[in-house]
Structure 1
Amino acid sequence: MRIGFYAPLKPPDHPAPSGDRRVARLFMAALRGMGHDIDLLSDLRSFNRDGDAVHEAATAEAAAAAVDRLSHRWLQEASRKPDLLFTYHVYHKAADYIGPALKQRFGLPYVIAEASDSPRRREGAWAKGYVQAAQALSAADAVLAITRYDLPPLIACAGARAQYFAPFIDTAPFMAAATQRQQHRKVLSARFGLPLDRPWLLAVGMMRSGDKLASFQRLAETLPLAADMGWHGILVGDGPERHTVQAAFAPLHNRITLTGQLDADSLAALYAASDLYIWPAVNEAYGMALLEAQAAALPVLSVNTRGVPDIVAHGETGWLTADDQPQTLASALHNLLGDQALRQRMAAAAPLRVARDLSMGAAQARLQTLFTQLGLPA
């Protein structure tokens, strides 16, 4: 099957790394792995950070031109017309102007993966983007909610066409790293000067303003409350707020190591070598790093918020606190660091659950079921 793919928030070939770009690439890889041909319909980025009306109008104009170009091409070469339109991530700040127009012109089935509906945006700066996003949701034959948190409002506007679709990753590099935990621990200890006689607490995130910075700051408030537990903290990531993150953790002196941004192999090794992943998840959609950690047999301490409980099984693969307050997180950290047997049980269970429910293979099976429901070819 030929699939026309579009990611309005951030194209999959965008130079700046992010979770959004990562998930778009994962969907493309999953579809290719099923034997489908993927055509990237456009690299037009509709993201409107501030709700600027001129920007939104320019996006609509550019999208209309892209639709005309694609339409002309498909009319001239029928073999290039896709069997399915697949858009990743639609909401009022990143509306899809391309998919609905092509569906209307050619009658193609149209799927949106990851979407949200925020009725309060009907008025205000993002009103035009909201209307267009709502039109896309109305036009879609299926709307996939990546978290159960996002599902109820999508059902309200899309009805039975909305369904939950669990997030996923390619588990292979993380599970492979887990088999060499001790070796990775020795190598990383030498590389970054990490103490081998202390449990390693790991946190991974882009160091940028907003929710990511808030999570790092909340973590900096939490760790001193568990200073008696003998841990060593490792922070992975980089970005414009790195200096702010460094300042927040400065009182912890030599108990914190900032590695900067790591390549994929080094990060997988660090997940496998660490003892506990800790992340306050301030306004976190679900957290790809939480999923990666579990795939590498690293138990997670996080918060029962938004989509986090979709990927962390409380008491089985990690521990989710009721809120993100430092005292609450610190109490849970005390308990987990004091119970090695519990952490070991979580470490054993986490990759099994990820492989079963949150892997590339699991996602491909769900996609095949969806395509069958839509009457599409296998």
Structure 2
Amino acid sequence: MNIAFFAPLKPPTHPVPSGDRAMARALMAALEAGGQTVTLTSELRLFDGRGDTAQQDRFFELARQETARILASPTAKDWRVWLTYHNYYKAPDLIGPVVARALGIPYILIESSRARKRLIGPWARFAEQAEAASDAAHTIFYMTMRDSQALIRDAPKAQALRHLPPFLARPDLPPASSLTGPMLSVGMMRPGDKLASYTLIAQALAALPTTTDWRMDIAGDGPARAEVAEMMAPFGDRVRLHGLLDTDALSDLYTQGSLLVWPGVNEAFGINYLEAQAAGIPVVAQDRPGVRDVVFAPMCRVDAGPAALADAMQNFITDPDARRSIGTRGRIRIGTHHLLGAATETLLDTIEGLT
């Protein structure tokens, strides 16, 4: 089957790493692992992070041009399904519903969120289009329980909703960590929620008992790197900033890491949690929607604020048996439910029945 694929928030070819890019690539890999042909229909990014109506007008025009180009493509007649990843009010799918309707093929969404409150305000037109795309979908795959609530509430009668747990684009587990190395933190360094997570980490490190022996490796880069470096400077050489790492270098960190610390402020779910647990590394994160879908042990999810983070970090630092026990359970869970094979089966169970 030939499947048309589009990711309006961030195309899989985008040069800047992120969880959205990683998941877009993972979805394509999962479909291809199931023997499907996947065509990336457009690299147009339709993300408006500021609520800028002039920019939205520009995106509407660019989408109109892309839609015409796609429909004129000689390969369009071969597509049997259109699949869009991550449709929401800041990055609505302005292309897929039109093309799918013109070609008479099923339109499917993965990780589409509903936000009716955004129908008023600077994103109103984009929110309308995101809602219209959700309404047009034959099937919506949701990744988190939080997203499912609004999708169930607002679903048209004939629409199917399916749970697709977040997953890693690999067929098997990586080598297990020795759990003897430093703590880890892995995340992009951007203003807003990401920087807020780094702020909490720095505050939690400062709250650890002075007698505690700890080190931390941080992998990530971005426009807020200077702010992160300033936060971590008081800890001297106990914190190492590695910058942006390629896949192999990041894997090397995971093979020795003892604990992943990432609060996950407003995270949708977080690929880094899956990567750490796949290596058998326990996680410390805030107990919030989205995070609960991918951080499985209750003792790994803590209340908001640096004090709770510090307490959980201290517990894991001083209890190697707990690290190993929780890490092993998380690794088993990832291997069973959050790798390529499980995702491929879930996707194809639905998609192959549509044509």
**What TM-score, normalized by structure 2, do the two folds share?**
0.94
CA contact (8 A) 2:171 2:339 kept: no
**Number of the residue aligned with 2:93:** 96
**Number of the residue aligned with 1:343:** 323
SS at match of 1:177: coil
Alignment partner of 2:333 out of 332, 353, 371: 353
CA distance in structure 2 between the partners assigned to 1:357 and 1:202 by the alignment: 24
**Number of the residue aligned with 1:376:** 354
CA contact (8 A) 1:200 1:232 kept: yes
CA distance in structure 2 between the partners assigned to 1:341 and 1:370 by the alignment: 42
1:163, distance to aligned residue in structure 2 (A): 3.0
**Number of the residue aligned with 1:190:** none
CA distance in structure 1 between the partners assigned to 2:9 and 2:342 by the alignment: 25
More deviation, 144-153/334-343: 334-343
CA distance in structure 2 between the partners assigned to 1:308 and 1:293 by the alignment: 13
CA contact (8 A) 1:201 1:278 kept: yes
| Aligned ranges 1:150-229 → 2 under 5 Å | 150-158=147-155, 161-171=160-170, 175-178=173-176, 181=177, 200-227=182-209, 228-229=211-212
CA contact (8 A) 1:221 1:326 kept: yes
User: Deviations 1:280-307 (Å, cap 9, x if unpaired)?
Assistant: 1111111100100011111111121121
SS at match of 2:208: helix
**Number of the residue aligned with 2:64:** 64
**Number of the residue aligned with 2:12:** 12
1:172, distance to aligned residue in structure 2 (A): 5.4
1:171, distance to aligned residue in structure 2 (A): 4.0
1:176, distance to aligned residue in structure 2 (A): 3.4
| Alignment: residue pair count | 352
Identity %: 38
The AA in structure 2 aligned to 1:165 is: L
| Aligned ranges 1:41-80 → 2 under 5 Å | 41-74=41-74, 80=77
CA distance in structure 2 between the partners assigned to 1:50 and 1:224 by the alignment: 34
Q: Is structure 2 residue 288 aligned with structure 1 residue 319?
A: no
1:170, distance to aligned residue in structure 2 (A): 2.7
1:162, distance to aligned residue in structure 2 (A): 2.8
**Number of the residue aligned with 1:188:** none
The AA in structure 1 aligned to 2:174 is: A
CA distance in structure 2 between the partners assigned to 1:102 and 1:262 by the alignment: 38
CA distance in structure 1 between the partners assigned to 2:96 and 2:68 by the alignment: 12
CA distance in structure 1 between the partners assigned to 2:174 and 2:309 by the alignment: 30
1:57, distance to aligned residue in structure 2 (A): 1.9
CA contact (8 A) 1:177 1:269 kept: no
User: Deviations 1:83-104 (Å, cap 9, x if unpaired)?
Assistant: 0000011011101111111122
Pick the structure with more helix per residue.
Answer: 1
CA distance in structure 1 between the partners assigned to 2:262 and 2:26 by the alignment: 23
User: Deviations 1:6-34 (Å, cap 9, x if unpaired)?
Assistant: 11111111122221111111101111111
**What TM-score, normalized by structure 1, do the two folds share?**
0.88
1:347, distance to aligned residue in structure 2 (A): 2.0
User: Deviations 1:327-378 (Å, cap 9, x if unpaired)?
Assistant: 1111122222222111111222222110101111110111122225xx335x
**Number of the residue aligned with 1:36:** 36
Q: Is structure 2 residue 292 aligned with structure 1 residue 294?
A: no
Alignment partner of 2:79 out of 77, 82, 100: 82
CA distance in structure 2 between the partners assigned to 1:70 and 1:238 by the alignment: 35
Q: Considering only aligned residues, what root-mean-square deviation do their CA atoms show, in Å? A: 1.8
More deviation, 271-280/246-255: 246-255
Higher relative contact order (CA 8 A, sep 6+): 2
CA contact (8 A) 2:29 2:169 kept: no
